[in-house]
Structure 1
């Protein structure tokens, strides 16, 4: 992954694993493992308000990649899982409305 924002790409990934982020200070934070087709990346996302952990694996999501990494407690987040706020300000995942190949880039 690149260290600069100018190389940012938005790719489709599939969540392969999700678990509560109990060490985090932010409420509802979830650790995600996301398959981008060519690679697996990790992402921390505040999804606990709108999603149950066990319903996340298998979902396609849109991720911003090449942003660098962020260390949160003992977890390294390598991609930003994209969401938009609902009426309460809680994230709702952005995803294609039908299955697409993993790693596909937004254009």
Structure 2
């Protein structure tokens, strides 16, 4: 388990629901990954990369809702700029995406 944090620290993390609207291969990544374009409703469109190629085909990801952190600073990954962090449960080398049980509006806050 990681270090204990204060509740105020957790409230700084902006978790939102978004829908994947585009998926591309990311051959420049050090580890196999996709480039994702995600619609967060009123927050706009954000891009990120995700190492989720072992469990998900590109076609399966399109129109799928996910949970992401949207208030991290942008991060350069190869020649790609990541603007959010998609969340998943890590099981060995596999990442299982976190998603809402039912569809909700893009941009919905996760608390």
TM-score, normalisation: structure 2: 0.85
Does the 8 A contact of 1:7 with 1:67 survive in 2?
Answer: no
Question: What is the CA–CA distance in structure 1 between the aligned matches of 2:12 and 2:73, rounded to whole Å?
Answer: 10
Post-superposition, which runs of at least 4 consecutive aligned residues in structure 1 deviate over 6 A?
none
In structure 2, how many angstroms separate the alpha carbons of the residues matched to 1:59 and 1:43?
15
Per the alignment, residue 18 of structure 1 pairs with 23
Partners of 2:97 and 2:75 in 1: CA distance: 20
> Which structure shows the higher helix fraction?
2
Select the structure of larger CA radius of gyration.
2
Residue in structure 2 matched with residue 43 of structure 1 by the alignment: 48
SS for the counterpart of 1:54 is helix
How many angstroms does 1:8 deviate by? 2.5
2:98 to 71, 94, 99: 94
Unaligned runs of 5+ in 2: 1-9
Q: How does 1:78-93 map to 2 (within 5 A)?
A: 78-86=83-91, 88-93=92-97
Given that residues 20 and 30 in structure 1 are in contact (C-alpha distance below 8 angstroms), is that contact kept between their aligned partners in structure 2? yes
* Equivalent in 41, 44, 57 of residue 52 of structure 1: 57
Aligned residues: 101
Q: CA-atom RMSD, angstroms?
A: 1.4
Q: Distance in 1 between matches of 2:48 and 2:11?
A: 20
| Superposition map of 1:67-82 within 5 A | 67-82=72-87
Could you state the TM-score of these two structures normalised by the residue count of structure 1? 0.89
